[in-house]
Structure 1
Amino acid sequence: MNAVDVFDYAGVALFAATGALAASRKQLDIIGFLFLAAVTGTGGGTVRDLVLGVPVFWVEQPVYIVVCTVTAIFLYFTAHLAESRYRWLLWLDAAGLAAYGVFGAYKGLAVSGSPIIAVVMGMMTGTLGGILRDVLANEPSVLIRREIYVTAALTGAAVFVAAEAAGTGLAVAASLGFAAAFVLRGCAIAFEWALPNYRSRQGRNPDDLRR
């Protein structure tokens, strides 16, 4: 197991944990926990593999489903012990986004050889699981909240790809990519960082368009 494989398993487990925590906030039964954990843990990677045209990772290696299942069962019995489940969800999601973003970029680079495709795959892998979780749990999606999310995954993936191209070595590149994504997302959570919103402006007068 190399450095990025660790990020792969960590990303699945961390996202599965956020899915289970979302299920606890909705007071679902154990099946709800298992479903949300599995969808959140594998959603981003599934879309990535389908886009890249390679076998879906959890179909080839069912151990990932076992990881999601164990995580869901553990949190079914322990989620109530957390002082703030929503806070835990945010920070676990940040770590999952960073870890999975790095692995997505690694796999995108390995399959396509293109740095651009690698960064896009890192972004998709790191964010789609959280987006699916929010939709299924009927929570406000991260896409419509004023906070840095997708940008953090893009940044982490880009840093990984740049570091790998610079010859830093796989472990160093993965660590740098993870740190960049996690720090950026963590600052967005802690300090409410956000990109500037689009500001609506008055449109042109229709009469002017005819001139």
Structure 2
Amino acid sequence: MINTDPKVVDTILQIIEILGTLAFAISGIRHAAARHYDWFGGFVCGIAVAIGGGTLRDVMLNATPFWMTSPMYILCTLMAQFIVIVFARSLKRLDNAWFAFDTLGLALFTIAGLQKTLDYGHPIWVAIIMGCITGSAGGVLRDVLLNKIPVIFRKEIYAMASVCGGVLYWIMISLHVSVALSAIATFLFIVVIRFLAVKYHISLPVLKGE
């Protein structure tokens, strides 16, 4: 990895995790609202998707889970709940709002997982896997709580977008591109993959049973 000021990297990482928490929390709470969960149920779904992937990543890295280091992440989830409650009618008109927030959360947390794993000295292939776990594990928890088939097990391109983003991040870091620019490019790359895959119905082949 290139020689970058640790304070700058930490600041970028914290901003990414906060934005990712807000985006994922809104996604989870919107899904819960569609299932007519009460306010507490919505908060549980929101916090599960917001911190689930990052918590699993940090446990595997033997680090203190990121949300335990600051109350900001809980506050972000409460803010997301407030947004969904107050602007429920506006969000309901946006049929794809949940998809947009889910995609933003996936991209942001993938980057956070990649960079944090690299900061802990692990090789890039481990970082790519951790980025995928950070970005998609929260969505699995959310879907389980909502009694739905997790999105990563469906045909839809989801976790693979995270993996592709991880490969791009690795290439840019290897070329000594700054962390900030690499993060922005990876974010846009993952978002574009997700939107194009859904718009043009691009998916992975389905396993065939007997």
Q: TM-score, normalised by structure 1?
A: 0.89
* CA shift digits 1:19-70 (9 cap, x unpaired): 1101110111111121111111111100000011000111111211111111
Higher RCO (C-alpha 8 Å, min separation 6): 2
Query: Following superposition of structure 1 onto structure 2, how do residues 142-157 of structure 1 map, counting pairs within 5 Å?
Result: 142-157=151-166
Q: Are residue 28 (structure 1) and residue 37 (structure 2) matched?
A: yes
Query: Which residue is equivalent to 1:45?
Result: 54
Matched letter for residue 120 of structure 1? I
The partner residue of 1:80 within 80, 89, 97 is: 89
Aligned residue number for residue 199 of structure 2: 190
Over aligned residues, Cα RMSD in angstroms?
A: 1.6
Q: 1:166 Cα deviation (Å)? A: 1.2
Q: Which has the larger radius of gyration?
A: 1
After TM superposition, the structure 1 stretch with the greater mean CA deviation from structure 2, 101-110 or 189-198, is 189-198
2:128 paired with 1:119 = yes
Distance 2:181 2:155 in 1: 32
Looking at structure 2, the residues matched to 18 and 125 of structure 1 have their Cα atoms a distance apart, in angstroms, of 16
List alignment gaps of at least 5 residues for structure 1: 202-211
Seq. identity, %: 27
Mapped to 2, the partners of 1:31 and 1:106 lie a distance apart of 33
Number of equivalenced pairs: 201
Cα distance in 2 between the residues matched to 1:160 and 1:45: 18
Alignment match, 1:103: 112
Tell me the TM-score normalized by structure 2.
0.89
Pair 1:94 & 2:115 matched = no
Deviation at 1:4, TM superposition (A): 3.5
Segments of structure 2 that go 5 or more residues without pairing to the other structure are: 1-7
Is the aligned partner of 1:69 residue 2:78?
yes
Q: CA deviation at 1:98?
A: 0.7
Deviation at 1:83, TM superposition (A): 4.0
Asked if the contact 2:117/2:127 (under 8 Å) is kept, the reply is: yes
Q: 1:136 aligns with which of 109, 134, 145?
A: 145
